[in-house]
Amino acid sequence: MARLLPLLLLLFLTVLLSRLPSPCASLPIRLNLTHINSKFSNISIEDRNLLAIKRGKLRLAFISSRLSTSLVDVQTNVQYSNQEYSADLAIGTPPVSVSVLLDTGSDLIWTKCEQGSAYNPSASSTYSPLSCGSTFCQNELTSCSDGSTCSFYSPYGSATVGGTMGAETFSFGGTNVPSLAFGCSNSEMGSATTISGLLGMGGGQLSLVSQLGSEKFSYCLTPYDSQSTSPLFLGSLANPDSSSQTTPLGQSPNIPTYYYLSLQGITVGSTKLSIPSSAFAISSDGSGGLIIDSGTSFTMLVPSAYDVLKQEFQSQMGLPVASGNTFDLCFSSPSDGSFQPPKLIFNFQGADMDLPKENYLVSDAGGSLLCLAILPSDQSLSLFGNFQQQNMHIVYDVQGGNLYFAPAQCANL
């Protein structure tokens, strides 16, 4: 019996430790996000909208091609400049500041490491190459062909990023996180050459969310025309507001990167649209569904939903329809300042998102047009964009499988 006690004690401690949360899971992390429009101050609002729409359509095509093998391969037409918000953080010891793009539709964390880049792994005392035996070297983006170097290659349509996988200390708003697996890029092609790196927040193994063991993360996006940054919260700071509504948050079993919402209908004014139930269903081949995405500006809906929305919205607006070069449905701007558009409500499972008019109407053509900031999808997939998410505190409860949202003044969080 005396010999069994140490073994029983060891077994007890092993079980106890296995149930403890990840040491990084409770870290309170806050980052400030900057919208890409701040870099385009020298061009008109109309041109900014055109760039945003182009980025969104290219992104939609790339995600669709990745989800379904039965779709036409359109990756060769996709550009990498499809992101919307960037975050400043620090890498290495001593820490070096870098700006990376935030993306809930990607997993990999990577930054440039070639000569002339801000971050140089050889100058950091906390950098180490990732071994071939690491669990982070066992996925579709990584390989170990020479048996000693864990490398990565990540295609983004016509742009690609490649290099070696490493582990390094990252600093998020003053909070240090050691030994994060990341891609140290020494080869970028296409429009990937114009950015410094990416912060993947998807549901896959390599994402920041997964590596931290975070049960939740959240963001609150300030309006496009605001000069204020948008907060991103991880760990204990990512708590839903008391007034939040909640709806199921789904993930594909084949590609866990993307976050899906169950959209059951759309209401314009007081009219619930007659949209077929199949419009937002995920097909057996992996296509379809509605993905909530931080990297897409304007929501894009499959034709079976968008066409019904367009017809009813046009009927209720009561303004002359006008041709626009940017959006699909535009009206002559009202001269009466008291004009009120019809309400637009997204009816998710268990929750209704009643959008403020600033989240679905946008001024165009020098203010002479008022346009619906929702577009038709040319794929079998729909995306819920960040324009519709402005001034909403949105919490991704990844562990619990729920999305919480509530109206908020994001600049004040």
Q: What are phi and psi of 211, to 5 degrees?
A: -65, -35
Q: What angle do CA 248, 380, 322 make, to 5 degrees?
A: 100
CATH value of 29-234 in 3.30.1330.60, 2.40.70.10, 3.40.50.300, 3.40.30.10: 2.40.70.10
Q: Check if 29-234 and 237-412 are the same fold.
A: yes
Q: What is the pTM of this model?
A: 0.85
Domain coordinates in residue numbering, the chain: 29-234, 237-412
Catalytic residues: 103, 293
Residues 6+ apart with CB under 8 A from 300: 56, 57, 60, 306, 374, 375, 376, 377, 382, 383, 385
Pairing label, strands 216-220, 392-397: antiparallel
Contact 209, 294 (CB under 8 A): no
Mean pLDDT of the chain, nearest integer: 83
Q: What angle do CA 389, 348, 106 make, to 5 degrees?
A: 50
Contact 269, 342 (CB under 8 A): yes
Q: What is the pLDDT of residues 329-360, one digit of tens each?
A: 999 999 887 899 999 999 999 999 999 999 99
Position 54 scores a pLDDT of 67
Position 28 scores a pLDDT of 77
DSSP-assigned letters across all residues of 233-269: EEGGG----TT-EEEEEEE-SS-TTSEEE-EEEEEET
Position 158 scores a pLDDT of 59
Distance (Å, whole) CA 254 – CA 190? 28
Contact 100, 117 (CB under 8 A): no
CATH of domain 237-412: 2.40.70.10
Give me the residues of the chain with pLDDT under 70, please. Answer: 1-26, 36-45, 47-48, 51, 54-55, 58-59, 61-62, 65-66, 68-84, 156-159, 188-194
Max distance between CA atoms of the chain, in angstroms, equals 90
Position 404 scores a pLDDT of 98
Q: What is the pLDDT of residues 383-399, one digit of tens each?
A: 999 999 999 999 999 99
